[in-house]
């Protein structure tokens, strides 16, 4: 049937209010052979929106490398899984909770943490670390302070209460996020390789069981809202934001992990975005079966809830399971012990349909394939945005006499200053396995009762992605890779959270395509596959989109924790060396942005061969105990990295650098570089190894007591650097 010959009975405005376009509604009618009722319309709205179906991104996501020798489970499950030896696996994923956090920052951020935690323990893993990647608008914007305080409070409040350490993350400010902040949450868990749980329903007649909290009316249309742009009425969307309860989540975590030991679970799925709708349909689809649910049996927090509300509610702390029927009573007793709901609400069928009844009335009957396999998949029109031109430094006045003044201004800027005010609100030591706390290149967490650890880092430079999306995509991947290397770990795999504007705009879709292309090239070269992730489109307000922000979360393995590295200078009288070539790239740099108030120039290019060579060399040296400290050189360039090593180690430096273009050398953001502290005893052997591996090394100075000194330029006390570095957040939040 065609749109022209079919006379719709359903009001067009109702269709549009569900985020569906008319041609999509036509496709639904054709698939069903009839028009959907309201409950069915809501189900299609949830499953076919961007947040759940990835209809604009699926085509391109398939081009990313997702396999590797250590990959146990790639994309497609609740979280990805990698092998970390000795029968252990790390389970991790990153997801967005952007729109809810802008509308209601505390609950939006809190439930973002709760949701990603469930994704991980659903797989059978005990969560051991939380991280985040946050983006806020200009600090001068009237909403920024409120949003920052609320988001940080929500992350800390939920993570601290449930007892999972928040060990790292990143926070940046830019005016492109004034109307649409980003809150990306990441969780890592540890499990046994032979005890991983999956979501594919199986066993005709097996019970479908609801566990956790009761269902209320909070969060209805949350997934649909997450796939829509904001406008001046965004405040009215507060009812679509879920409310979290970390204490119940803790009970749910422990109950699920206890039940998992009993081999009673055939399939398990978190009720996240789109709640009972997505969880039931995903389980049925992956198992190639049908599911029948009696909605009258769903535990309800509110009276007189309709089938529509029950299916679309995004009430938190809930799971859906398929159980071994012989172990149903035992499972019930476990959840009773933990004071949680446990209700058999349906069964697995051979119909390959989702069938819903309530009060003995059929509320929905939809073939699973229409909801999943037949969901729209678009190859959106896109245009490749030309990279910004190289900056003409002739038009940028540089003065070597202002270096210390510039340094103080940069390290006290909100994008480069200490995040101590933030991470001090997070409990990063609970569980007692945190080895490297926030503030270093990567967090390091011990695998409990072992001498090995995992290193974790999140990163992205949106300005790089804006001005050259291909190189920016590469950079986001490579920055986490370098951070993990610098911590002493072997990088294994990444998760991503792709935050972009409206994909229906060719220029935005072009940013996405080019970021994907850059990410894929970097992942392939570095043997660093993508094993999980999330796409968040429509991050716009009144037509103004955010900068492209493909946030990356990387995970690596430290086989012996005695090899762990941090950025802090350790001793006086050590040599300071730069590994990797410096070509004075100032374009699109923090120096130009902060000191010159110019966002100009192209993103620094990355030579992946050089990146791989330098990284392997650094990791080899760390494993041979050659270094005292390691830090990758990133935003702000060499001098900012040196200042951070001095600040965290409370040690000074004496630099002896003979460069005609000193400002460019000190603040340039060339890639593939590391700063290392090395004792004089190890130096000659280190140089020989570097020469043998064809790695460029430059000795630039010595560590010393408390003076941060550059020969022929001047000096400053380290304490003054510390005060400047830690001042901004204190002033801003008071």
**How many CB atoms sit inside 10 A of residue 326's CB?**
8
- Considering 18, 97, 428, 725, which one is annotated as catalytic? 97
Residue 1 confidence class, pLDDT cut points 50, 70, 90: very low
pLDDT digits (tens, 9 = 90+) for 350-382: 999 999 999 999 999 999 999 999 999 999 999
Q: Which residues contact 4 (CB under 8 A, 6 or more apart)?
A: none
The angle formed by the CA atoms of residues 466, 471 and 475, to the nearest 5 degrees, is 95
Q: pTM, whole model, 2 decimals? A: 0.94
- Catalytic-residue membership of 725: no
| CA–CA dist 592, 63 (Å, integer) | 35
pLDDT digits (tens, 9 = 90+) for 648-662: 999 999 999 988 889
**How many CB atoms sit inside 10 A of residue 30's CB?**
15
pLDDT digits (tens, 9 = 90+) for 535-576: 999 999 888 999 999 999 999 999 999 999 999 999 999 999
Task: Report percent pLDDT > 70 for the chain.
Answer: 96
Residue 286 confidence (pLDDT) above 70: yes
- Catalytic-residue membership of 174: no
Whether 554 contacts 494, CB under 8 Å: yes
The confidence score (pLDDT) of residue 11 equals 86
Q: Which residues contact 629 (CB under 8 A, 6 or more apart)?
A: 565, 566, 567, 568, 569, 570, 645, 649, 676, 677
**How many CB atoms sit inside 10 A of residue 559's CB?**
17
Residue 273 confidence class, pLDDT cut points 50, 70, 90: confident
pLDDT digits (tens, 9 = 90+) for 506-530: 999 999 999 999 999 999 999 999 9
> Residue written as tokens 């290392």?
676
| CA–CA dist 388, 732 (Å, integer) | 33
Residue 389 confidence class, pLDDT cut points 50, 70, 90: confident
The confidence score (pLDDT) of residue 232 equals 54
- Considering 18, 51, 99, 428, which one is annotated as catalytic? 51
pLDDT digits (tens, 9 = 90+) for 135-188: 999 999 999 999 999 999 999 999 999 999 999 999 999 999 999 999 999 999
Residue 239 confidence (pLDDT) above 70: no
């Amino acid at each position: 049937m065609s749109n022209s010959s079919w006379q719709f009975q359903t009001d067009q405005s109702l269709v549009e209010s569900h985020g569906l376009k008319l041609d999509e509604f036509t496709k639904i009618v054709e698939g069903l052979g009839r028009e959907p009722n309201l409950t069915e319309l809501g189900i299609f709205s949830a499953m076919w929106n961007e947040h759940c179906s990835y209809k604009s991104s699926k085509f391109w996501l398939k081009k990313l490398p997702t396999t590797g020798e250590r990959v146990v489970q790639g994309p497609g499950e609740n979280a990805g899984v990698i092998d970390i030896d000795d029968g252990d696996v790390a389970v991790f994923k990153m997801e967005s909770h952007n729109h809810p956090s802008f509308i209601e920052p505390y609950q939006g951020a809190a439930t973002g943490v709760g949701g990603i935690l469930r994704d991980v323990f659903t797989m059978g893993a005990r969560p051991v670390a939380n991280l985040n990647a946050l983006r806020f608008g200009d600090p001068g914007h009237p909403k920024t302070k409120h949003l920052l305080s609320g988001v940080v409070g929500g992350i800390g409040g939920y993570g601290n209460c449930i007892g999972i350490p928040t060990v790292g993350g990143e926070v940046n400010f830019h005016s492109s996020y004034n109307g649409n902040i980003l809150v990306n949450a990441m969780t890592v868990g540890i499990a046994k390789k032979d005890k991983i749980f999956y979501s594919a329903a199986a066993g005709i007649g097996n019970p479908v069981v609801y566990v956790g909290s009761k269902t209320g009316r909070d969060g209805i249309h949350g997934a649909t809202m997450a796939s829509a742009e904001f406008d001046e009425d965004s405040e009215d969307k507060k009812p679509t934001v879920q409310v979290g309860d970390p204490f119940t989540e803790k009970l749910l975590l422990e109950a699920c992990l206890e039940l998992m030991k009993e081999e009673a679970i055939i399939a398990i799925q978190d009720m996240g975005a789109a709640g009972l709708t997505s969880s039931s349909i995903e389980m049925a689809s992956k198992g190639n079966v049908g599911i029948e649910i009696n909605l009258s049996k769903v535990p309800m927090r509110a009276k007189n809830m309709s089938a529509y509300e029950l299916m679309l509610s995004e009430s938190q702390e809930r799971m859906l399971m398929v159980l071994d029927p012989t172990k149903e009573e035992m499972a019930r007793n476990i959840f009773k012990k933990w004071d949680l709901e446990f209700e058999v609400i349906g069964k697995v069928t051979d119909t390959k349909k989702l069938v819903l009844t309530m009060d003995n009335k059929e509320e929905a009957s939809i073939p699973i394939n229409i909801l999943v396999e037949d969901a729209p998949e678009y190859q959106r029109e896109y245009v490749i945005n030309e990279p910004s031109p190289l900056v003409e430094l002739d038009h940028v006045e540089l003065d070597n006499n202002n270096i210390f003044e510039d340094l103080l201004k940069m390290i006290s800027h909100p994008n480069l200053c200490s995040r101590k005010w933030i991470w001090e609100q997070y409990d990063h030591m609970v569980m007692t396995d945190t080895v490297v706390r926030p503030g270093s290149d990567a967090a390091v967490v011990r695998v409990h009762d072992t001498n090995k650890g995992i290193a974790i880092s999140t990163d992205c430079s949106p300005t790089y992605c804006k001005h050259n999306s291909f190189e920016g995509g590469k950079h986001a991947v490579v920055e986490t890779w370098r951070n993990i290397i610098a911590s002493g770990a072997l990088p294994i795999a990444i998760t991503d959270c792709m935050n972009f504007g409206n994909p229906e705009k060719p220029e935005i879709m072009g940013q996405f395509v080019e970021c994907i292309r850059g990410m894929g090239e970097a992942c392939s070269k570095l043997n660093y596959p993508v094993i999980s992730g999330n796409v968040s489109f429509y991050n716009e307000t009144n037509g103004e989109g955010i900068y492209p922000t493909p946030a990356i979360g990387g995970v690596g393995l430290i086989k012996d924790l005695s090899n762990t590295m941090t950025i802090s200078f350790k001793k006086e009288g050590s040599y300071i060396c730069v590994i990797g070539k410096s070509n004075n790239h100032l374009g699109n740099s923090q120096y130009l942005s902060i000191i010159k108030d110019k966002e100009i120039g192209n993103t620094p290019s990355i030579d992946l061969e050089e990146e791989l060579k330098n990284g392997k060399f650094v990791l080899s040296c760390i494993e041979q105990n050659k270094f005292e400290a390691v830090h990758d050189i990133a935003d702000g360039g060499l001098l900012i990295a040196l200042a951070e090593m001095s600040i965290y180690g409370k040690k000074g430096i004496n630099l002896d650098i003979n460069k005609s273009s000193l400002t460019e050398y000190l603040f340039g953001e060339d890639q593939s570089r590391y700063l290392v502290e090395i004792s004089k005893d190890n130096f000659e052997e280190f140089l020989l190894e570097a020469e043998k591996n064809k790695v460029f090394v430059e000795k630039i100075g010595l560590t010393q007591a408390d003076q941060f000194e550059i020969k022929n330029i001047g000096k400053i006390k380290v304490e003054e650097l510390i005060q400047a570095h830690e001042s901004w957040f204190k002033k801003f939040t008071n």
